[in-house]
Structures are given as structure tokens and as C-alpha cells.
């Protein structure tokens, strides 16, 4: 077999080995069909079964209530920054939003094109290294919804509790944490996630939305940008990203085999604890996020010396630990340890860091 690396990319990210192997097995002829899934009509019974199974497995994994639609869309999480306000910012033409990083900012900028955005809190004062404290009074009822970014991919922070939004629908960008830990879908009005972090290949975006919120979207928004269009047509109003959905389906099956999100969360907690423990005890490396708001998925860290950081990233690459360079706005390093990153990958990274530290102390 070809040599594999441990890929710590923030996205597109690594996929589970079992999924890649299954896709390889299916590559020339899927299930006796004589063709690859990407050559298949999306209207064929074989494909209908693929998308139906993917949806059913996702519903089971996240325990999605029946009054929520599950949509497989295109355009990435970035299109959701516009689609959400287009469809939901209808009554008050005002929303509340929390600014916890670049993705939040982009969501806020798009929403502003459709109405008023009240930014209730921000962590920009400290390079987004924490989640702001949020009190119930911030969320006045004169808004259509509240927008948050559950896990901040670039800065490595995450919410550890729900914002006290009262009866307002909570909308969350879960691109970099969906399926990583248990959530209660009913706490949210709408959840969206681009697939390329924790679900599958780039090209499909998953939206989970409470049906009553999108039923009355304005008639004048473009057909393809109305959630209802996709909900009414089982995500097949037009050709869906068929292959990406197929791979996402394999990822869901793999998670079910593992024992579900609870099991996955346990492993993710162990992986993150191992890495943060090492960082907290290191004499060379330190984590850029302190305390409770640390992400389990994206772990930014630095040596404090930009030249040494560069050397570390280059040396790590030679050792088969790739894509550890941090986002340019934070600098240093970032290890993205999504669901598909095995515990052995994290152990290898820690061992390599310990060796680097011994050489450079
Ligand atoms: C990656 C990411 C995005 C952007 O996703 P695209 O699918 O590239 O549009 C948005 N939000 C978060 C939290 C992300 O991690």
C-alpha cells in the first residue's frame, strides 16, 4: 500500500481509512451496478437508496427530531452565511450574533445585507482566544434568530454551554465540530456544516432545520436559495453533489459501527486531553487558548519564536506529520484533530514534539 501521512489539515481534512477502503472497493462498480456512484443517475433507485440511507443514518446519529428537515446542499458553509438570513430574517429583519472569529465575521457581514445585525458580544479584543460570557438580557426578543459559530476553526475555541437565547431560534455554524460530540438538535433552529472537516469531501453542505422556520420564507428569493425548495424535493431539486453525499454516507456508517457520537466524543476528549496536557507541561510549546473554551477539534500552539515555528512545521512534514502550519492570523501551528484523526496520529505528533523540544530547549 501507498505510504500514508498523518494529515492535520483544518479542511479539507483526513477521512477514516475504512471509508477510503470502502470507496476504493466500490470505485469501478458500486454494489454490482457496473458503474461508479459518480456516474450514476441521481434519479436511479440505487442512488435514491444511497441518499436515503445517508439521511437516515445521520438522523439516527444525531437523534434528529421528525420536525427537522435534513438537507444536502452545495455552496459550502459560506453560502449558508447568506441563505440563513435570506430565509429566516423575515419578521423583525434583525438578528443577534456573537463574533468569535473570522467565520463569525463573515456570517455577520452577509447577514447585514438582509437586515440589522446586533453583535451582542465579541472576543476580538484578545485575538478570539476565548468565548465571551453571554447573559440572557443580551438576547432581546425583537430578533428573528441568534447566530453563533460553535467551534472556531482558526482560533481553536468552542462553546461549552448554550447561549441563553430564550425562545429565539439558535442558528449555529457547526462546520468544524458537527458529529464530534453529542448535541441536542432541538436546542437549535438551524444547524449548518460544510462537509470537508468532519463529514466527508468538500462539495456538500448539511443543513438541519426546524421545518416551521423555513415554511414561510419570502417568495421572491431565488429558487435554489430557498430551503423549502430543497426540503420539498428531498435535496434533489437539481443534481445534488452525488459522490460527496455517498462518501458522507460511508462516514456515517463508520460512526455507527464505532458506537455512535457518544463513543466518538469519548475518543475526541482523550485525543484533545493528550495534546493539551502535553502543551501545558511543555517548556517549549504552549497552547494559544487557555481554560474551558479550548476546542477539541482545532488546537493552535506556538513556540513563541516564529523562526522556530517554521522549522517545526518543516521538520514535522519530513516525519509524515503534515499541514501543521497555523492560520496566518494566529501564526504558529495548528493541529486539527477531527473525528478521522486516529489516536495514534495524536500520539505520533506528541512524540515528535517531545523530540523537537529536547533538541531546542
Ligand atoms: C471551513 C469553515 C467555513 C467555510 O466553509 P466553506 O465550506 O469553505 O464555505 C465556515 N465556517 C466554519 C466554522 C469553518 O470551519
pLDDT digits (tens, 9 = 90+) for 216-236: 899 999 999 999 999 999 999
The answer as to whether 142 is a domain residue is yes
Q: Compute, in angstroms, the gap from residue 17 CA to the centroid of ligand 1.
A: 23
What's the pLDDT at 18? 97
Q: Compute, in angstroms, the gap from residue 301 CA to the centroid of ligand 1.
A: 21
Atom of ligand 1 nearest to the CA of 80: 9
Confidence of residue 185 (pLDDT cuts 50, 70, 90): very high
Q: How far apart are CA 355 and CA 357, in angstroms?
A: 5
Task: Say if residue 147's pLDDT is above 80.
Answer: yes
Tell me: do 36 and 134 sit in the same domain.
Answer: yes
Strand, helix or coil at 302? strand
Task: Say if residue 281's pLDDT is above 70.
Answer: yes
- Residue at which a domain ends, from 210, 228, 258: 258
CB atoms within 10 A of CB 327: 17
How far are the Cα atoms of 233, 325, 355 from residue 306, in angstroms, in the given order? 51, 11, 19
Reading the block at residue 136, the C-alpha cell is: 440572557
Look up the CATH number of the domain holding residue 186: 3.40.640.10
The answer as to whether 1 is a domain residue is no
Q: Compute, in angstroms, the gap from residue 237 CA to the centroid of ligand 1.
A: 24
- Asked if residue 186 belongs to a known ligand binding site, the reply is no
> Exactly one of 57, 103, 105, 271 is catalytic; which is it?
103
- Residue at which a domain ends, from 258, 274, 290: 258
Atom of ligand 1 nearest to the CA of 174: 13
Number of domains in the chain: 2
Tell me: do 253 and 267 sit in the same domain.
Answer: no
Strand, helix or coil at 262? helix
The domain of 139 spans: 18-258
Tell me: do 137 and 173 sit in the same domain.
Answer: yes
Tell me: do 58 and 136 sit in the same domain.
Answer: yes
Paired with 206 in beta bridges are 72, 193
The answer as to whether 305 is a domain residue is yes
Strand, helix or coil at 71? strand
- Asked if residue 277 belongs to a known ligand binding site, the reply is no
Look up the CATH number of the domain holding residue 288: 3.90.1150.10
- Asked if residue 127 belongs to a known ligand binding site, the reply is no
**Average model confidence (pLDDT) across the chain:** 97
Residues with CB under 6 A from ligand 1: 11, 76-78, 103, 149, 153, 173, 175-176, 194, 197
Tell me: do 180 and 314 sit in the same domain.
Answer: no
Atom of ligand 1 nearest to the CA of 101: 13
Across residues 41-48, what is the average pLDDT? 98
Tell me: do 168 and 120 sit in the same domain.
Answer: yes
What's the pLDDT at 68? 98
The answer as to whether 348 is a domain residue is yes
Task: Find the largest Cα–Cα distance for the chain.
Answer: 64
What's the pLDDT at 216? 83
The answer as to whether 323 is a domain residue is yes
If we measure between CA atoms, which residue out of 4, 6, 13, 11 comes closest to residue 327? 11
Confidence of residue 3 (pLDDT cuts 50, 70, 90): confident
Paired with 322 in beta bridges are 7
Question: Global pTM?
Answer: 0.98
> Exactly one of 173, 271, 293, 325 is catalytic; which is it?
173
The answer as to whether 241 is a domain residue is yes
Q: What is the DSSP code string of 260-301?
A: -HHHHHHHHHHHHHHHHHHHHH-SS-EESS-GGGB-SSEEEE
Tell me: do 278 and 229 sit in the same domain.
Answer: no
Across residues 76-99, what is the average pLDDT? 97
Tell me: do 95 and 106 sit in the same domain.
Answer: yes
Residue nearest (by alpha carbon) to ligand 1 atom 2: 175
How far are the Cα atoms of 8, 72, 199, 248, 298 from residue 54, in angstroms, in the given order? 26, 10, 11, 7, 26
Q: Compute, in angstroms, the gap from residue 76 CA to the centroid of ligand 1.
A: 7
Reading the block at residue 147, the C-alpha cell is: 447566530
Q: What percent of the chain is modeled with pLDDT above 70?
A: 99
Task: Say if residue 2's pLDDT is above 70.
Answer: no
Tell me: do 105 and 240 sit in the same domain.
Answer: yes
Tell me: do 83 and 222 sit in the same domain.
Answer: yes
Q: What percent of the chain is modeled with pLDDT above 90?
A: 97
Across residues 180-186, what is the average pLDDT? 98
Residue nearest (by alpha carbon) to ligand 1 atom 7: 76
Tell me: do 41 and 150 sit in the same domain.
Answer: yes
The answer as to whether 247 is a domain residue is yes
- Residue at which a domain ends, from 243, 258, 273: 258
Tell me: do 31 and 170 sit in the same domain.
Answer: yes
Confidence of residue 97 (pLDDT cuts 50, 70, 90): very high
The answer as to whether 7 is a domain residue is no
Amino acid at each position: 500500500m501507498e505510504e500514508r501521512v498523518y494529515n492535520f489539515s483544518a479542511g479539507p481534512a483526513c477521512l477514516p481509512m475504512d471509508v477510503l477502503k470502502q470507496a476504493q472497493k466500490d470505485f469501478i462498480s458500486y454494489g454490482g451496478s457496473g458503474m461508479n456512484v459518480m456516474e450514476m443517475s441521481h434519479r436511479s433507485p440505487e442512488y435514491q437508496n444511497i441518499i436515503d440511507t445517508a439521511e437516515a443514518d445521520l438522523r439516527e446519529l444525531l437523534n434528529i427530531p421528525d420536525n427537522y428537515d435534513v438537507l444536502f446542499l452545495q455552496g459550502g458553509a459560506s453560502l449558508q452565511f447568506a441563505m440563513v438570513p435570506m430565509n429566516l430574517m423575515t419578521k423583525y429583519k434583525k438578528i443577534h450574533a456573537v463574533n468569535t472569529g473570522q467565520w463569525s465575521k463573515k456570517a455577520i457581514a452577509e447577514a447585514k445585507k438582509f437586515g440589522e445585525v446586533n453583535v451582542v458580544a465579541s472576543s476580538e479584543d484578545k485575538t478570539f482566544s476565548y468565548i465571551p460570557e453571554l447573559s440572557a438580557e443580551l438576547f432581546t426578543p425583537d430578533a428573528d434568530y441568534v447566530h453563533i459559530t460553535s467551534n472556531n476553526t482558526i482560533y481553536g475555541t468552542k462553546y461549552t454551554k448554550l447561549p441563553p437565547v430564550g425562545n429565539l431560534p439558535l442558528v449555529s455554524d457547526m462546520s468544524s465540530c458537527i458529529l464530534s460530540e453529542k448535541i441536542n438538535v432541538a436546542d437549535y433552529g438551524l444547524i449548518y456544516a460544510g462537509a470537508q472537516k468532519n463529514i466527508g469531501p468538500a462539495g456538500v453542505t448539511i443543513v438541519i432545520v426546524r421545518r416551521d422556520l423555513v415554511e414561510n420564507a419570502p417568495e421572491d428569493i431565488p429558487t435554489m436559495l430557498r430551503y423549502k425548495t430543497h426540503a420539498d424535493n428531498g435535496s434533489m431539486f437539481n443534481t445534488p453533489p452525488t459522490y460527496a453525499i455517498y462518501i458522507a454516507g460511508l462516514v456515517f456508517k463508520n460512526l455507527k459501527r464505532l458506537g455512535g457520537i457518544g463513543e466518538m466524543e469519548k475518543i475526541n476528549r482523550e485525543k484533545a486531553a493528550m495534546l493539551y496536557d502535553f502543551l501545558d507541561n511543555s517548556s517549549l510549546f504552549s497552547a494559544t487558548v487557555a481554560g474551558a473554551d479550548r476546542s477539541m477539534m482545532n488546537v493552535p500552539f506556538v513556540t513563541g519564536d516564529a523562526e522556530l515555528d517554521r522549522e517545526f512545521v518543516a521538520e514535522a512534514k519530513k516525519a509524515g506529520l503534515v499541514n501543521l502550519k497555523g492560520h496566518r492570523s494566529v501564526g504558529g501551528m495548528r493541529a486539527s484533530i477531527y473525528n478521522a484523526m486516529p489516536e495514534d496520529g495524536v500520539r505520533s505528533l506528541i512524540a515528535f514534539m517531545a523530540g523537537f523540544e529536547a533538541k531546542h530547549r
